[in-house]
Structures are given as structure tokens and as C-alpha cells.
Amino acid sequence: MPSNIQPAEPTEVMPYGLALAFNEELRVEADLNQLQDGWAIRRPLVIFERHFFKLTRPLTAEQWTELRDFYMGHIAEPFWFYNLRETVPPWTWDPTGVSPDGRYTVVFDGAWSEDIRLPRSTCSFGLREVA
């Protein structure tokens, strides 16, 4: 008999300079049952919305290097991400991950994709809340 799934236990926090480059997206996943007569039955699969964060801002060479190193070190590991708008006081960041206000346990969502331009580069991937 399989055991219970253990919750994610992150130990590291995404660096402050990188946390500023993400936008928040809320999703409520739903089950859609399309009937032959045109009716559709929709049921939410979750009680609360799930948070997704997308990288939206071009990065300097230093930020790109820091993000690439962080990505390579956490491809399959959960980590903490602070949504700086939700922290108390607002726009503060806790490098230890102790403060629970505005903190989300996330993993990288999607493969690393980049567009290198001078002086700033762009990457496209997101973060998905897991806990």
C-alpha cells in the first residue's frame, strides 16, 4: 500500500532581484464535460485558486546569470518565492524564508527558453505553486 505524499520542504529562497521580475496569475482548474446538445457542465477541481508567476521583465547580464544558476540548482526542487506585494510590510523580502507573509512554495514550470539581446536578455518560463 502506498504511503501518504509528503509536503514539499524547501530550504532556499529566490533572490530578491529576481523576485521583482515576475507577474502573478491566478488559475482555477476546472473539469469540463461537453454534452452533445451543446450544454457544458463545469466543475472546479480545486477549492482555492493556484498561483502561477511568469517572468516578464528583461534581465541584465548579472540578473540573467543569477537566474540561470538558480534555475540549474533547482530544476526539480521546490523553493520559496516571495510575492513582494503581499509581504508585511509591503515590498520586503526575507532571505531566510522564515516570514510566511507573501511566501509561496513553488517549482519551475516549463523549460528554460531564452532570447539573448544586448544589453538585456529575456527568458520565458514560470513558477507554479505546489503547496
The predicted-structure confidence for 21-43, as pLDDT tens digits, reads as follows 888 888 888 888 998 998 999 88
Lowest mean pLDDT among 19-23, 33-37, 97-101, 103-107: 19-23
How far apart are alpha carbons 125 and 110 in whole angstroms? Answer: 5
In angstroms and rounded to an integer, the radius of gyration of the C-alpha atoms of the chain is: 18
2: confidence class by pLDDT, cuts 50, 70, 90 = low
Distance of CA 101 to the CA centre of its chain: 16
19: confidence class by pLDDT, cuts 50, 70, 90 = confident
